[in-house]
């Protein structure tokens, strides 16, 4: 009997169609209100979610590879070095990096350093009157050597603790101003960027296919007139970011070259283009200027005839250009589309809920309407015949 | 009185259960159609969203760290350098990088450069007949020096403007062909990759736990037979990408070693494995070959007995291998699951809407059905007794 | 006529309000159960999706730029090199990198190498008894030269194949223990990190605005007391990751400095702070220790008076610190909010479905309730008057 009941249930489940019964209230006020709310929700779902925010698309982030090539020559004339020419091999350190390149703009050079004993650079912790002020084996925070415990003359007026170090020690108290290689402003860089969206197996280069070789040989990036030229003048990069190259060259700094690839892969291939923008990445705030700007120390090593090693220490100030590539590609995909449609349909139900609240709580005729909408089903015990149920058994 | 009314409402709200009244239409056609549409939506939600696209998972992208180690020795025999051996310290520049490594394959070497005056490399802008053709202080785009204003003999037939530069200037018009270090094809590289999914605190290495040391000492990556061996032959990397190493070695280039980690963390740890693929990243298109391939300039600095600095300039052509690590991990999470279930349920409502449209608009018996589904509730003013409402007051 | 019918339909569609008819079952059991299920779903949607997982927010991942500056001096005293001081320019190779820095901790130095003939380092494949054991032109896997075919004495007891290589060949069989530059433990590094969330155009630095210069000059990172100090002691980084610096210094290794930026941009600017954590990235597993730790070869090149090039080969062991920056920022956005609300509303429907199943399948009074909820509409052919339909035509 139970199985027969189950069969009937299953039969009914498959072959009967159940649709909610509807009370159709013929009231212009509510009808129009209901449609307006639904229209609003529909407009939001279609206009905002689908058209504006491309809710029908699946997204992927970019995988990128960058190479860069700097060009330019500068001449300097200083008492220490004489007239000297600086080319790419001199001022780009290290010669190649992955997503960045560094251009030297200022320099404190200490030539012919050898390992030995010499007075330390005088500062708060190294100036001394006698050997009692110096502790053998002590390494001061800013020093590049180990104190021997002696107090020796740094120059005619000042005595400082002797250190075992690369001697003579570097004196970085006075930074050349204006910057040593201020001509770097006119150097140019060619940036080649290859991007890939793994999910869609879509790849593109920042040298666009419609660009000719002759154009590339003469063009220079300009936000207005040459927005797709991959050759940049260093000075323009800095000024586009609202900074002064002359100022930045002195202490060095970090510049971000941002390449944004926002691609709608449902559109044409040629519509997917890079957008360049520039931003200074290091802090300019004067109130916490602990090691401001950007610099590092690099050395060239030599050996003399007696096989003694010497080095030229360079405290190199300069601008590191970080090439930050980011962006997303969107392409039609059924999953987000369906999620958004489903969610939108559910939101349409809100219209009915809202209208119900207004009609059945605030309308004058609410008791009349309620009577039509609700069928009160009492519990057995309290059954009474005062409700609408036409044909009780 | 108002509060009493409110109390009754609240009581009713909590203790009454409201369920929509359903018109159960006993029609096989509509019943089966309804179930079929529902089945389709269910199949889509379960099959596609959940099983195929893993809609029940939360996703995270990979954080990666890469080290690489190149091995191999090459011998060259040229008139300029004599017989010379090249090992890792010679051809990998810089000696270590973060997500990349560079292997020199071709070389234009200019030895014993010192700062001084010499004729520039003759080209369109530097060939001259007399000193009038040369502008003191002018820097040509492709030059590495500053013109002095003199016109001097470059060789017996050609005169060019004198420059102040590292002399003699580099002559990069003739590139060795075949490539200088074409033996680099047989060099091998060991790539160690450590990945981490921060959201799930899951980390793994590309050297899988089931691999033995003896295997690692002899294995060589092969897409078919050794897909998890982390040691790659450079020539194989290039040929897997469909390129010719011999050709690429001449001008240099950029190769992408792509490591994809697509991990289903609901499965076993051992199922999360890296997939290697290879792609050439620089442009091969002949029509915009502005600085094709990949090269950079690097210099070694020397000092002679008289403390005069000289350098060996190397225009280094080679292949930079960028190791691009990407991928996503998925793990069961309640949020996306519920979003997808909710969205799926809402989509199920579409079945009723569709069937309603068909039944109540296109069925012959639509007026009969409509009568059962809809209860027309007229506005007071137009009240008439021609609708189903058994017990009007 | 058809168009008149259509007009009436349209009129009805716009001005009629259709609301589902509800059977209001006055049963405390079901009513309370229904409300409890709804409350549970609501609590999940509001509490978990919105409050906990911030379902009302749009998310973006971080774009980051890092610079680092190491400080410290070490003295070594070995028979080969004598007393020697090591400063930043000596032990950081290359002098600058983008998202990483390398500190040398151990060293195998081979001085005065020149290109020439010498016996190879004796191992399985190079030890020989006579010239018959050596193959001219053969390059052994671990060798740095090409065999000439001769068998010569390596020392008094062992003979090995002669190679053409940089001579004398490096002997890396014995690694200094304890590490050569074990003092590197006390070196410090200043890490500057600039982050940017492109979607929200929000940028911040890891040197927080409320930090003073004097604090930065003396502070040292400590997870408990100075969690926002950007200056780290190398030894502390390693020990925070649960490793021993002394052990790691011998073979080298890769450490990850993880900076996590999880920012809620709906909150105050000052609440968006970096969180540092440390992790060892290279394998410590002893069972596959093929080239364990981290090392690379670097060379310094010299020329003697006769213009013969020599080099100092350094097999540099050390710790590479990879700075891994990751994180997400969330900000209120209407799209995910609406998706989650829509999905939540749809889930609320589950309550009715669940209660319906319980009431209409398991309640004693189910037949009575069913009668109230369902209106059976038979197909014409099988029409019979035994169902509730008060006013048939």
C230-268 tens-digit pLDDT? 999 999 999 999 999 998 999 999 999 999 999 999 988
Chains that touch B (3 or more CB pairs under 8 A): A, C
Give me the phi and psi of B184, to 5 degrees please: -55, -20
CA–CA separation, B301 vs C257, rounded Å?
35
Write down the residue that tokens 């799926």 correspond to.
B344
* Interface contact flag, B21 C24, Cβ < 8 Å: no
Cβ pair B71, A69 in contact under 8 A: no
Q: Which of A206-215, B335-344, C106-115 has the lowest mean pLDDT?
A: B335-344
The answer, yes or no, to whether residue C286 has pLDDT greater than 70, is: no
* Interface contact flag, B213 C288, Cβ < 8 Å: yes
Return the structure tokens found at C104: 């040398």
Does B267 reach chain C within 8 Å, measured CB to CB?
no
Helix (H/G/I), strand (E/B), else coil: A392: coil
What does the pLDDT average to over C295-316?
90
CA–CA separation, C116 vs C168, rounded Å?
8
* Per-residue confidence (pLDDT) for residue C341, from 0 to 100: 79
- What ipTM score was computed for the predicted complex, to two decimals? 0.82
The answer, yes or no, to whether residue A2 has pLDDT greater than 70, is: no
CA distance B42 to chain A (A): 12
- Residue of chain A minimizing CA distance to B377: A25
Tally Cβ neighbours within 10 Å of residue C213.
14
Compute CA distances A387 → A25, A377, A381, A391, C45, whole Å. Answer: 20, 8, 15, 11, 37
CA–CA separation, C322 vs C259, rounded Å?
11
Does A19 reach chain B within 8 Å, measured CB to CB?
yes
What does the pLDDT average to over C169-180?
89
Return the structure tokens found at C74: 């070490």
Does A375 reach chain B within 8 Å, measured CB to CB?
yes
Cβ pair C109, C174 in contact under 8 A: no
Picking from B265, B275, B268, B258, the residue whose alpha carbon sits closest to that of residue B197 is: B265
* Interface contact flag, C69 A296, Cβ < 8 Å: yes
Got the DSSP string for C319-362? EEEEEEEE-EEEEE-HHHHHHHHHHHHHHHHHHHHHHHHHHHHH
* Interface contact flag, C287 B217, Cβ < 8 Å: no
Q: Which of A125-139, A307-321, C255-269 has the lowest mean pLDDT?
A: A125-139
Among A290, A378, A389, pick the best mutation site for testing chain C contact (most C Cβ within 10 A): A290
* Per-residue confidence (pLDDT) for residue B1, from 0 to 100: 47
Does C377 reach chain A within 8 Å, measured CB to CB?
no
Q: Which of C14, C63, C372 sits opposite A326 (nearest CB)?
A: C63
* Interface contact flag, C216 A288, Cβ < 8 Å: yes
* Per-residue confidence (pLDDT) for residue A296, from 0 to 100: 93
Range list of β-strands (E), chain C: 16-20, 22-26, 57-61, 63-71, 74-78, 82-86, 100-119, 146-153, 159-167, 188-197, 202-205, 231-233, 253-261, 263-264, 274-280, 295-303, 309-326, 328-332, 374-378
Cβ pair B238, B245 in contact under 8 A: yes
| Interface B:C, Cβ pairs < 8 A | 223
Picking from A271, A254, A253, the residue whose alpha carbon sits closest to that of residue A262 is: A271
Does A346 reach chain B within 8 Å, measured CB to CB?
yes
Among A16, A19, A81, pick the best mutation site for testing chain B contact (most B Cβ within 10 A): A19
* Interface contact flag, A294 C67, Cβ < 8 Å: yes
The answer, yes or no, to whether residue A117 has pLDDT greater than 90, is: yes
Environment class of residue A256 by beta-carbon count within 10 Å: exposed (0-12), middle (13-18) or buried (19+)?
A: buried
* Interface contact flag, B26 C282, Cβ < 8 Å: no
pLDDT over 90, % of chain C? 39
Does B55 reach chain A within 8 Å, measured CB to CB?
yes
Return the structure tokens found at A171: 């004196």
Cβ pair C105, C181 in contact under 8 A: yes
Compute CA distances B90 → B82, C25, C116, whole Å. Answer: 16, 87, 15
Each residue of C133-174: pLDDT tens digit? 888 988 887 788 899 988 999 988 999 999 999 999 999 888
Among B288, B291, B314, B373, pick the best mutation site for testing chain A contact (most A Cβ within 10 A): B288
Q: Which of B17, B73, B112 sits opposite C145 (nearest CB)?
A: B73
Which of the residues in chain B have pLDDT under 70?
1-3, 284-290, 378-393
CA–CA separation, C24 vs A11, rounded Å?
28
Q: Which of C97, C313, C390 sits opposite B98 (nearest CB)?
A: C97
* Interface contact flag, B291 A69, Cβ < 8 Å: yes
CA–CA separation, B304 vs B273, rounded Å?
55
Does A213 reach chain B within 8 Å, measured CB to CB?
yes
Chain A from 77 to 136: CB within 8 A of any C CB:
93-94, 97-100, 102, 115
* Per-residue confidence (pLDDT) for residue C208, from 0 to 100: 87
Q: Which of A21, A322, A391 sits opposite C390 (nearest CB)?
A: A391
CA distance B146 to chain A (A): 8
Q: Is B297 annotated as a binding residue?
A: yes
Q: Is B199 annotated as a binding residue?
A: no
* Per-residue confidence (pLDDT) for residue C349, from 0 to 100: 76
How do B146-153 and B159-167 pair as beta strands? antiparallel
Say if residue C94 is preceded by a cis peptide, omega within 30 of 0.
Answer: yes
Chain A from 236 to 265: CB within 8 A of any B CB:
none
The answer, yes or no, to whether residue C274 has pLDDT greater than 90, is: yes
3-state secondary structure C15-57: HEEEEECEEEEECHHHHHHHHHHHHHHHHHHHHHHHHHCCCCE
CA–CA separation, A215 vs C56, rounded Å?
48
Write down the residue that tokens 């047989």 correspond to.
B186
Give me the phi and psi of A389, to 5 degrees please: -150, 90
Q: Is C146 annotated as a binding residue?
A: no
* Interface contact flag, A97 C95, Cβ < 8 Å: no
Picking from B328, B101, B92, the residue whose alpha carbon sits closest to that of residue B232 is: B101
* Per-residue confidence (pLDDT) for residue B287, from 0 to 100: 56
Among A17, A70, A97, A192, pick the best mutation site for testing chain B contact (most B Cβ within 10 A): A17
Among C108, C165, C296, pick the best mutation site for testing chain B contact (most B Cβ within 10 A): C296
What does the pLDDT average to over C20-34?
80
Each residue of B141-168: pLDDT tens digit? 778 889 998 899 998 889 999 999 999 9
CA distance A303 to chain C (A): 6
The answer, yes or no, to whether residue C392 has pLDDT greater than 60, is: no
Q: Which of C96, C112, C300 sits opposite A301 (nearest CB)?
A: C300
Picking from A326, A317, A316, A321, the residue whose alpha carbon sits closest to that of residue A232 is: A321
Q: Which of C299, C355, C376 sits opposite B17 (nearest CB)?
A: C355
CA distance A157 to chain B (A): 31
Of A28-37, A359-368, B6-15, C280-289, the range with the highest mean pLDDT is A28-37
The answer, yes or no, to whether residue C393 has pLDDT greater than 50, is: no
Does A364 reach chain C within 8 Å, measured CB to CB?
no
* Per-residue confidence (pLDDT) for residue C47, from 0 to 100: 82
Write down the residue that tokens 């509060």 correspond to.
B3
- Residue of chain C minimizing CA distance to B218: C141
Spatial neighbors of B345 by CB under 8 A, at least 6 apart, are A342, C346, C347, C349, C350
Q: What is the CA A116 to chain-centroid distance, rounded?
A: 47
The answer, yes or no, to whether residue C340 has pLDDT greater than 80, is: no
Does B29 reach chain C within 8 Å, measured CB to CB?
no
Cα torsion through C174, C177, C180, C181, rounded to 10: 140
Spatial neighbors of C109 by CB under 8 A, at least 6 apart, are C80, C81, C312, C313, C314, C315
Q: Which of B33, B322, B356 sits opposite A98 (nearest CB)?
A: B322
Picking from B248, B275, B271, the residue whose alpha carbon sits closest to that of residue B260 is: B275
Confidence class for position C374, pLDDT limits 50, 70, 90 = confident
CA distance C163 to chain A (A): 26
pTM of the full structure: 0.86
Name the β-bridge partners of C147.
C163
* Per-residue confidence (pLDDT) for residue A386, from 0 to 100: 41
* Interface contact flag, C368 A380, Cβ < 8 Å: yes
Cβ contacts (< 8 Å) between A139 and chain C: which residues? 72-73
pLDDT over 70, % of chain A? 93
The answer, yes or no, to whether residue A76 has pLDDT greater than 50, is: yes
Residues in the annotated binding site of A for ATP: 69-71, 188, 295-297, 315
Q: Is B188 annotated as a binding residue?
A: yes
Q: Which of A221-235, C22-36, C210-224 has the lowest mean pLDDT?
A: C22-36
Tell me the average pLDDT of chain C: 85
Each residue of C346-369: pLDDT tens digit? 777 777 777 888 877 787 777 887
Give me the phi and psi of A290, to 5 degrees please: -70, 125
* Per-residue confidence (pLDDT) for residue A119, from 0 to 100: 92
- Residue of chain A minimizing CA distance to C348: A346
* Interface contact flag, B165 A24, Cβ < 8 Å: no
CA distance B144 to chain A (A): 6
Chains that touch C (3 or more CB pairs under 8 A): A, B
Q: Is B148 annotated as a binding residue?
A: no
Chain C from 309 to 338: CB within 8 A of any A CB:
312, 334-335, 338
């Amino acid at each position: 009997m139970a199985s027969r009941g189950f069969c009937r249930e299953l039969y009914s489940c498959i072959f009967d169609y159940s649709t909610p019964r509807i009370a159709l209230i013929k009231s212009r006020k509510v009808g129009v209100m209901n449609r307006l709310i639904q229209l609003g929700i529909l407009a939001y779902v279609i206009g905002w979610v689908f058209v504006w925010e491309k809710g029908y698309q699946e997204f992927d982030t970019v995988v990128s590879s960058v190479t860069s090539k700097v060009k330019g020559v500068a001449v300097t004339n200083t008492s220490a070095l004489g007239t000297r020419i600086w080319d790419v091999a001199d001022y780009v350190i290290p010669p190649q990096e992955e997503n960045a390149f560094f251009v030297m703009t200022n320099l404190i050079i200490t030539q012919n350093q050898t390992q030995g004993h010499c007075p330390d650079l005088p500062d708060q912790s190294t100036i001394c009157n006698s050997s009692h002020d110096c502790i053998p084996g002590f390494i001061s925070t800013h020093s590049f050597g180990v104190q021997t415990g002696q107090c020796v003359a740094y120059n005619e007026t000042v005595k400082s603790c002797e250190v075992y170090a690369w001697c003579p020690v570097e004196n970085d108290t006075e930074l050349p101003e204006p910057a040593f290689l201020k001509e770097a402003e006119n150097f140019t860089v060619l940036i080649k960027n290859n991007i890939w969206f793994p999910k869609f197996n879509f790849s593109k280069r920042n040298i666009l296919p419609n660009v000719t070789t002759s154009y590339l040989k003469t063009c220079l990036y300009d936000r207005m007139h040459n927005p797709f030229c991959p050759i940049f003048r260093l000075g323009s990069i800095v000024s586009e970011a609202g900074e002064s190259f002359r100022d930045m060259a002195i202490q060095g700094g970090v510049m971000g070259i941002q390449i944004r690839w926002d691609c709608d892969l449902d559109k044409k291939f040629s519509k997917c283009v890079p957008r360049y923008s520039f931003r200074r990445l290091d802090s300019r705030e004067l109130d916490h200027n602990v090691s401001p700007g950007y610099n590092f120390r690099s050395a060239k090593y030599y050996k003399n005839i007696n096989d003694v090693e010497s080095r030229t220490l360079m405290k190199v100030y300069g601008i590191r250009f970080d090439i930050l590539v980011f962006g997303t590609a969107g392409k039609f995909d059924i999953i987000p589309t369906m999620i958004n449609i489903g969610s939108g349909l559910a939101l349409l139900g809100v219209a009915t809920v809202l209208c119900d609240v207004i009609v059945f709580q605030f309308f004058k005729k609410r008791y009349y309407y309620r009577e039509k909408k609700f069928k009160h089903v009492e519990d057995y015990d309290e059954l009474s015949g005062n409700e609408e149920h036409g044909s009780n058994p």
